[in-house]
Chains A and B, each alone.
Chain A
Amino acid sequence: MATYLARRLLLMIPTLLGITLVTFVIIHLAPGDPVSIAMGGELRAGSMSAEAIEHFRKEMHLDDPMLVQYGRWVFSLLTLDFGTSWRTGRTVLEQIGEALPVTMGLGGAALFFVYLLGLPLGILSAVKQGSLRDRATTLVLFVLYSLPSFWVGTLAILYLGGGKYWDVIPVQGLRSPDAQGLAILDLLWHAITPVVLLAYASLASVSRYMRTGMLEVIRQDYVRTARAKGLSERAVVYKHALRNSLIPILSHVGLMVPFLIGGSVIVERLFGIPGMGQLMFQAILTRDYSLIMGISTVTAVLTMLGILATDVLYAVVDPRISYGGRK
């Protein structure tokens, strides 16, 4: 197991280099650069002279060959220096350090509810395959799946956010403007709508995964054997079938890791939440190269670790899979 882990961790280094190189090349080849952005959206006459532009480019080393720039970036990465954002003058790590917990908190809560609701729905659908209940949940979940979150979010703000109609949800940020200190109830209250918006669309995929996995297992011989030896339906489903059908769900969890870290631009923007999605979106709009690179790197590392963790969990859930014994 230890050698397996070491090998996987070492393999992450070339993968990371590949990911960052591709990202680096793409953002530098994309048209537009920080200099154009620095000219400002609301243009004032001659906010940047040719001389100022040249100086700016030199300060950001924009005129060096791309590989040299990339080499410089990798080199400073070795000392864990992600650089500073040209726009805000703050270090990249500081900004990610603020945004990541927010996004992971919301995403984690959303995922929790997705599995809390999605798994039982999937099991029920599978057990009563083809029944009315199965078809109804399928329909409802797919309707939810097809509703874009920007639309639902806007409707929620307009109809539930006070003002003209019901006043049931807070519409801005994660805390009330007058909140003092650590108002945990206030935070939960503000988080409900974003969490629901983040979660509802994923219900469909989770319950589908669960349903398919369950259906496959339910047809297995050992389930028939369990039934044949007279076990109650409950014991058959929850003891024999369920455990074995959890493996595909694990790979689904692995797929959700980037979502957990990357956040949602739409929901975060609608509700003014300072998360990773907004941070990345802003960084791209303003061609904030060091910030883009920093976020991609952190996201890539965390995603790879997440995938590694799910792979390790396979071995825990399924005794047939063993990484140590394979020689």
Chain B
Amino acid sequence: MNRRFPIALLALLAFLASGCLVRGQSQEERRTASEPATVEPADLDPHWREGTLPADIEEGTPVPGGTITVRTNGEPPSLDYLIDSDFWGHRLTMHNVNEALVRPDPRDHPNYRIEPELAASWEVSPDRLTYTFHLRRGVQWHDGRPFSAKDVLFTYERLLDPAVRSMHLRQGFADLESVTAPDDFTVVLKYRQPYVWALERIADVPIVPAHAFAGHEGAKFNAAPFHRAPIGTGPFRFVSWKEHEAITLERWDGYWGRKAYVDRVVYRPIPEPNVAQQLLLRGEIDVDINLSSEQYVKLSQEPKVVGAYHRIKYFESSFAWIGWNTQRPLFRDARVRRALGMLFDREKVRTALYMGLPQSANCVFYHLGPLCDPATKVADFDPAAAEALLAEAGWRDTDRDGVLDKDGMPFRFVITIPSGNPVNEAMVLLFKQALYRAGIEMELQKIEWSVYAARMREHEFDACMLQWSGDVEDDPYQIWHSSQVDGGSNYIAYQNPAVDRLIEQIRGTFDAEERHALFRRLNQTIVDEAPLLPVFHMPRRTMIHRRLRGVYLSPMTFFQVRDLWIDPSFAAGRGS
């Protein structure tokens, strides 16, 4: 009787041990042991290896029908970009469900020229103060009601109403004086002073139907049911939203333009990376743009995934940076800031921590566009040069305690980062070691995001880490102008009259070529002055199912679901 007990225990231990073994096995062991079918790197097609799209994937005669499933890594709080800047809310609805007067041409990467959408044409007055839009006629809302200038007026009035939660859009209309509609199909926007990015900002304002908001005036507008069940004019109609389950869009056959091909697009919120990976292995997802770096690399060993998906990486306009609070005495000297940058091993971080996926950043604007000069480079990792530079700035270890000092002040500071990202922490620790060897002590402080954001606004930090994301071309004023230290986004409190002048010039230059040249000069100045250290541009790590055709890369406008179609002859697993 008593003998059964150890056997049960042994069985249990064996079970646990087997679990550990499977978990502990290295990739090589597993490949040789049980999975002879894994794909060797040499077998991978070059597109998979490089993370690019094959060119012929856009060709062919579109076949209508079918359902596309897109993974979202979070659930949007609402589906109205007018009151909510959420990433997925924007990607789902803008130019798909709700349209703007104009839109950036998704096929025109990286310039994204503005083309007509709800406005068939427009004129700009010679003084650049008046924009006259001639609206498309015969456009219908998804509920069958006709679209007219009334809706445009309504939308812009809401946008300008301070009670409406559209601060993310409103700042682009600070100089807008009035919006009027001389007739049902003409809208006139009058500005107080010329604004360079007027059309780009107009392209970002989703037009909503005035008739859908009865009884939701003023602050009540923010709680209208419309925001969760939008009605638009776009090629897709909103069908349903089941929380934590799916948001479904359907092709709108009454669309004024070329109709979409697929019947439905289903967005499934799947926050858990492991679950998303399972669904990729099962081929249940068509588009996933939120792979982790590790998944992006390791899924190469899954024949099922390689057979069923294109692996793509592409760059949106964003860069991660480490900023120095230039109000603090430690960071007033540009030489010190440059030296700190030279102590940060960007190449090591890029390869060791991020598996070589990101691109080192040398530009604070969209690095693929015309705003960045490839010749402008942030100084490489060079501890010796950094120490020389620090000595030149007067930082020496006079009291021989291993820490540099100047006028009796030791070089010690705290870097504040948002909590919850272990890779960022590893990156900071790597930096800390290099600094320590150079005689600088840096402490790490992790803070929850909501608190972190408030600290940034109040400039309560020595050094910080953040990521800016933006558009192809943004107004640099908010981030870089000295007037934006209070109330703006100049968190690092950087004040430089030369930079201010360049920004003001940029805002007054309507010739694109000239303006871009000024942008490049501005970037050169910022890189030289080093108020922040641009670290890298992180690409989107993406899987696109091979059955999808009509796919083209348009980093700033997401994948155009209206152009996608499903290849009926594709058999899963065949691949290329």
Which A residues form the contact surface with B (CB < 8 A)?
Answer: 31-33, 35-52, 55-56, 59, 84, 87-90, 98, 132, 135-136, 139-140, 143, 154-155, 157-158, 161-164, 167, 171-175, 177, 269-274, 278, 287
**Contact (A88, B479) CB under 8 Å given A139-B9, A164-B281, A274-B245:** no
B244 at the A interface (CB under 8 A): yes
The reply to whether B77 and A44 contact each other, CB–CB distance below 8 Å, is: no
User: Which of A44, A89, A164, A174 has the most chain B CB within a 10 Å cutoff?
Assistant: A89
Find B479's partner among A45, A50, A139, A172 (CB 8 Å cutoff): A45
Find A46's partner among B171, B224, B451, B486 (CB 8 Å cutoff): B171
**Contact (A163, B223) CB under 8 Å given A33-B450, A88-B228, A98-B243:** no
B375 at the A interface (CB under 8 A): no
The reply to whether B87 and A42 contact each other, CB–CB distance below 8 Å, is: yes
The reply to whether A163 and B487 contact each other, CB–CB distance below 8 Å, is: no
**Contact (A48, B281) CB under 8 Å given A163-B304, A274-B243:** no
Find B219's partner among A41, A51, A59 (CB 8 Å cutoff): A59
**Contact (A136, B5) CB under 8 Å given A89-B227, A177-B268:** yes
Question: Which residue of chain B is the closest to A270 with respect to CB atoms?
Answer: B272
Question: How many whole Å from A261's CB to the nearest CB in chain B?
Answer: 18
Q: Give chain B interface residues in 340-394, CB to chain A under 8 Å.
A: none
**Contact (A47, B168) CB under 8 Å given A132-B2, A136-B8, A269-B272:** yes
The reply to whether A163 and B282 contact each other, CB–CB distance below 8 Å, is: yes
Question: Which A residues are in CB contact (< 8 Å) with B452?
Answer: 36
User: Which of B266, B268, B281 has the most chain A CB within a 10 Å cutoff?
Assistant: B281
Find A278's partner among B1, B170, B244, B318 (CB 8 Å cutoff): B244
* Complex Cα gap A10–B551 (Å): 65
* Complex Cα gap A287–B448 (Å): 12
The reply to whether A49 and B487 contact each other, CB–CB distance below 8 Å, is: yes
Which B residues form the contact surface with A (CB < 8 A)?
Answer: 1-2, 4-5, 8-9, 12, 19, 69, 77-78, 85-87, 162-163, 165, 167-168, 170-171, 219, 222-224, 227-228, 243-246, 266, 268-272, 274-275, 277-282, 284, 302, 304, 318, 448-454, 466-470, 474, 478-479, 484, 486-489
The reply to whether B486 and A50 contact each other, CB–CB distance below 8 Å, is: yes
Find A32's partner among B228, B245, B448 (CB 8 Å cutoff): B448
The reply to whether B1 and A32 contact each other, CB–CB distance below 8 Å, is: no
Q: List the 10 closest A-B pairs by CB distance, nearest first.
A: A163-B281, A32-B450, A50-B487, A46-B478, A52-B167, A274-B244, A46-B489, A36-B453, A36-B450, A89-B223
Find B167's partner among A45, A49, A273 (CB 8 Å cutoff): A49
* Complex Cα gap A31–B270 (Å): 29
**Contact (A157, B278) CB under 8 Å given A32-B450, A89-B224, A272-B271:** yes
**Contact (A32, B454) CB under 8 Å given A43-B468, A269-B272:** yes
Question: How many whole Å from A68's CB to the nearest CB in chain B?
Answer: 19
Question: Which residue of chain B is the closest to A143 with respect to CB atoms?
Answer: B12
The reply to whether B163 and A59 contact each other, CB–CB distance below 8 Å, is: yes
Question: Which A residues are in CB contact (< 8 Å) with B162?
Answer: 51-52, 55
Find B222's partner among A50, A89, A173, A174 (CB 8 Å cutoff): A89
User: Which of A37, A59, A139, A164 has the most chain B CB within a 10 Å cutoff?
Assistant: A164
The reply to whether A158 and B274 contact each other, CB–CB distance below 8 Å, is: yes
The reply to whether B4 and A140 contact each other, CB–CB distance below 8 Å, is: no
Question: How many whole Å from A243's CB to the nearest CB in chain B?
Answer: 31
Question: Which A residues are in CB contact (< 8 Å) with B282?
Answer: 162-163, 167
The reply to whether B479 and A46 contact each other, CB–CB distance below 8 Å, is: yes
Question: Which B residues are in CB contact (< 8 Å) with A174?
Answer: 245
The reply to whether A49 and B488 contact each other, CB–CB distance below 8 Å, is: yes
The reply to whether B450 and A140 contact each other, CB–CB distance below 8 Å, is: no
Question: Which B residues are in CB contact (< 8 Å) with A272?
Answer: 244-245, 269-272, 275
